[in-house]
Amino acid sequence: MPSTELKHRFEIAAPPERVFAHLAEPSNYIGLSPLLVAVRDVHRTETDGTLHYTAVERFRFLGVLTHDNIIGVTLVAAPDRLPARAEITGEVRSPARVRMSYRFTIDRHASGSVVTDTLHLRTPPGLLRFAASQAGAVQQNRARVLTARLSGA
């Protein structure tokens, strides 16, 4: 399957512990992406603490038509190197066979934290450009919203 990697790095005036706690909670992703409208069916694997949940992305076409894309998400939160660094990783599976692995690396910085948001997309032929443009827009929005939510509070 065709694939690409997108990386976005940004600073937040909040300590890594706070950024990590926010990104480790699935319900906090609503609003971090303009597409995400719901998170449901959250459950934790007993053996390793991995979270599994269903997310609903809402795509709008021509300002009138909508399509709800139901996606399966896994989230693994690794706080073991806090307060200096933490990582959150996972996988997203879409019914259209779009697969995305993600990684948030959160590093301590003089002003708070530096977050590196890395996405690796794999799509069926013909979908990569659309999926990458949507994912890139989500990364930009996530940085703005996360910074507004956590900075200075």
Tokens 């990364």 correspond to what residue? 139
pLDDT tens digits for range 18-62: 999 999 999 999 999 888 999 999 999 878 889 999 999 898 888
pLDDT in tens, 58-77: 988 888 899 999 999 999 99
Q: What is the chain's mean pLDDT, rounded?
A: 92
Distance CA 114, CA 132 (A): 23
Q: What percent of the chain has pLDDT over 70?
A: 99
The model's pLDDT over 81-123, given as tens digits with 9 standing for 90+, comes to 899 999 999 999 998 889 999 999 999 999 899 999 999 999 9
Q: Which phi and psi angles does 95 have, rounded to 5°? A: -60, -25
Identify the sign of the CA torsion 59, 139, 133, 131.
Answer: negative
Report the predicted TM-score, pTM, of the whole model to 2 decimal places: 0.89
SS3 content of the chain, % helix, strand, coil (to 5): 25, 50, 25
Instruction: Supply the pLDDT for residue 152.
Output: 59
Alpha-carbon gap, residue 137 to 117, rounded angstroms:
12
Residues 6+ apart with CB under 8 A from 103: 87, 88, 89, 116, 117, 118
